Chains A and B, each alone.
Chain A
Amino acid sequence: MVGGWGEKVKAKIHVTLKPGILDPQGKAIEQALATLGYSSASNVRMGKYLELDLNEKDKVKAEVEVKAMCEKLLANTIIEEYRYELV
């Protein structure tokens, strides 16, 4: 059984620029896609994906910890937003 009570918790975290914040990398990728003929692709946004194991069996506690990690270090909430899942 994966992710159940009593297992280690794995956090999968996505950090992306907030909507409305210019994403020069996303724009460059979008242009490259258009060059390749994928002109239907738009609003490309590039972000970061982080994965980490938590030595914490309680998912509620794990969530509190992951949220604090995102707020303090993993994301800069002035320009970025984050979402995570615990499995």
Chain B
Amino acid sequence: MNIGVVVFPGSNCDHDCVHILSDVLGQKAIEVWHKETSLSGVDAVILPGGFSYGDYLRTGAIARFSPVMAAIKQFSAEGGMVLGICNGFQILLEAGLLPGAMLRNTSLHFICKDVYVRVENAATPFTGRCEPWQVLKLPIAHADGNYYTDEVTLSQMKANAQVVFRYCTPEGKIMPEANPNGSLDNIAGIRNAAGNVLGMMPHPERCAEDVLGNDDGRLIFLSMLDALKKAVLQPKTVGV
């Protein structure tokens, strides 16, 4: 599969994503510079973590106007899979491809540590390899991961099973003590209503190989590859 990894000025997890996709999973990773206006030849696209445009104004606020974002909007509107990790998630929020916004962590600290998240929806193209309610250990590294949305949107998201990951205890319990950043409802990752765009604050690319002592993150990439293979086998819907 050809997976595009977008490189914004200030992205710093792009090489980790490329490494996992190509060296660990044997796929073709294509770096896509943010000035690109086309995503042709790409089966799925990842917006990696980092500090695009130095996080000036708000995280992701300026990156969302990069030329490549128009292509990503088009790609997602056509059903293409888009994964935003950390800063990538923040960019997807600012771009309106996912609902809500990020606030500063309640502690005001930049938090860099392993956390536990529970898979709330294992029936997405990004979590198909996970068991329902499976607990994953994944690292976070952010200052603005305090997810916020209004009550109406939250209830719609819950009704559509759009909350995909929630911070939990190692045993899988959702409680305030397991919430590292003050995020609404312990939300760590969400998908769009159509289901083809996922944003998550934890970094699966930082824990996707045995040598690192944790490969829980690999499940996310393997799920994506499963979904892509399945999509290739199925004829495209007429008229799309």
Contact = CB atoms under 8 A, between A and B. Distances in A.
Interface of A: 17, 21-22, 24-25, 28, 48, 73-74, 76, 78-79
Contact of A21 (B94, B100, B103): B103
Given A21-B148, A22-B106, A24-B106, A76 B182 contact: no
B103 A79 contact: yes
Interface stretch (B22-30, B33-41, B57-65, B229-237): B57-65
25 contacts: A17-B103, A21-B103, A21-B148, A22-B103, A22-B106, A22-B146, A24-B103, A24-B106, A24-B182, A25-B104, A28-B108, A48-B57, A73-B57, A73-B61, A73-B62, A73-B65, A74-B57, A76-B58, A76-B101, A78-B100, A78-B148, A78-B149, A78-B150, A79-B101, A79-B148
Please classify the interface of chain B as helix (H, G, I), strand (E, B), loop, or mixed, using the class held by over half of its residues. Answer: loop
Interface residues on B, range: 10 to 19
Contacts of A24: 103-108, 146, 182
B101 A22 contact: no
Contacts of B103: 17, 21-22, 24, 79
Interface in B87-111: 94, 100-101, 103-108
A24 B149 CA distance: 17
Please classify the interface of chain A as helix (H, G, I), strand (E, B), loop, or mixed, using the class held by over half of its residues. Answer: mixed
Nearest to B148: A79
A28 B107 CA distance: 9
Interface string B179-204: 00010000000000000000000000
A85 to B, nearest CB: 20
Interface in B118-156: 146, 148-150
Interface string B67-105: 000000000000000000000000000100000110111
Residue in A21, A22, A25 with the greatest tally of chain B CB atoms within 10 Å: A22
Given A73-B65, A74-B57, A25 B108 contact: yes
A79 B94 CA distance: 11
A76 B57 CA distance: 10
Residue in B58, B65, B105 with the greatest tally of chain A CB atoms within 10 Å: B58
A56 B101 CA distance: 32
Contacts of A74: 57
Interface string B202-215: 00000000000000
